[in-house]
A and B are shown apart, each in its own frame.
Chain A
Amino acid sequence: MDGLKELGMGLAIGLGAIGPGIGIGILVGKALEAMGRNPEMTQEIKTNMILGIAFAEAIAIYALVIALIIRFV
């Protein structure tokens, strides 16, 4: 049972990190593309990019929460 619990914890955060990983990759890629095309907008794009990353990352944080709940509660 304990082994399964740890497996579940690993799977929760491991699988949960896939989506945000892809999402952040696409987001930053597109932002860099935009910055390359329009360098004078860099500052604004960068701020919005970081905000977008924060939202995408929230999904991974939910997975982390589940993993921590499985492990510690």
Chain B
Amino acid sequence: MEVSIKPEILTSLGPLPITNSLITTYIIIAAILIVAFRGLRKLKEIPGRFQVIQEAIVETWIGLCDATGGMNTRRFFPFVTTLFIFILLSNWFGLIPGISALGLNTLHEGKETFIPLLRATTTDLNTTLALAIVSVIYIQMEGIKSLGIKLHIKKYLKNPLKNPIDTFVGFLELISEFTKVLSLSFRLFGNVFAGEVLLIVVTSLIPLLAPIPFLALELFVGFIQAFVFAMLTLVFASMATTSHESTGGESHN
């Protein structure tokens, strides 16, 4: 039973190490691209089974965007849905039976060790951290875009002479932007990684039939975590695009 928190490095491209989770990331990206292109090229009036699934995902997220902040939040829909699909596939990738058995035996520090070729993307903290940073930067950019840079920065930096409590609140808001990165990335990583460890432990205790309910649980957890990540991004973005000063809660454009 071996659990490694770091992704294994397979080779390196110059100074860039190529890890097994990176390979998985590109496999997933390729899969999404192929499915998206194939689905978009042959759109039909009467949708086939394949198109129905795609339409269902799109419709659900458009509905969620509308429910969160009206038509105004609909522009977050492409980003948020992409996040959802990518994270969902990454989470589920690790659940494909036998995926971690694919690997190479290599000599490492004098003894032979097994290195799996593929690793679920979101069990690598680098990936989740990158996703979280990208989504927070996106949130900030949307905030600047709809409020203007002056009004946006005013959320964080307030004149202490006017109202010292407001200055402190603004400071807390600034910190909370960094906590967003931390909690978004670690939530996703923690849940998926813990699920993987749970599956390993259960499989090593009772290999026959016992892991099946846990696999089902992990399918559910993977879905929920992808949903939560995308939903939180949506909610944060719709909060960032509303000014704190205006009481109506409407953004400027």
Q: Are B232 and A51 in contact (CB under 8 A)?
A: yes
Q: Decide yes or no whether A64 CB sits under 8 A from chain B.
A: yes
Residues of B within 8 A of A24 (CB): none
Q: Are A47 and B187 in contact (CB under 8 A)?
A: no
A-B pair count, CB < 8 Å, reads 36
Q: Are B187 and A61 in contact (CB under 8 A)?
A: yes
Q: Are B194 and A51 in contact (CB under 8 A)?
A: no
Q: Decide yes or no whether B133 CB sits under 8 A from chain A.
A: no
Q: Are B228 and A51 in contact (CB under 8 A)?
A: yes
Q: Are A61 and B190 in contact (CB under 8 A)?
A: yes
Q: Are B183 and A47 in contact (CB under 8 A)?
A: no
Residues of B within 8 A of A44 (CB): 67
- Cα A54 to Cα B187 in complex, Å, equals 8
Interface SS of chain B:
helix
Residues of B within 8 A of A62 (CB): 183, 186
Mask: chain B, 190-212; 1 = CB below 8 Å from A; 0 = not: 10001000000000000000000
Partner of B186, one of A43, A47, A65, A72: A65
Residues of B within 8 A of A50 (CB): 224, 227-228, 231
- Cα A61 to Cα B193 in complex, Å, equals 12
Q: Are A58 and B183 in contact (CB under 8 A)?
A: yes
Residues of B within 8 A of A72 (CB): 5
Residues of A within 8 A of B187 (CB): 54, 57-58, 61
Q: Decide yes or no whether A34 CB sits under 8 A from chain B.
A: no
Q: Decide yes or no whether B235 CB sits under 8 A from chain A.
A: yes
Q: Give chain A interface residues in 10-33, CB to chain B under 8 Å.
A: none
Q: Decide yes or no whether A7 CB sits under 8 A from chain B.
A: no
Residues of B within 8 A of A65 (CB): 186, 190
- Cα A29 to Cα B227 in complex, Å, equals 21
- Cα A65 to Cα B228 in complex, Å, equals 19
* B231 closest partner in A (C-beta): A51
Residues of A within 8 A of B231 (CB): 47, 50-51, 54
Seen from chain B, the residues whose Cβ lies within 8 Å of a Cβ on chain A are: 5, 64, 67, 183, 186-187, 190, 194, 224, 227-228, 231-232, 235
Given contacts A61-B186, A64-B186, A65-B186, 11 further A-B contacts (CB under 8 A): A43-B67, A51-B232, A53-B228, A54-B231, A57-B187, A58-B183, A58-B186, A61-B190, A62-B183, A64-B194, A68-B5
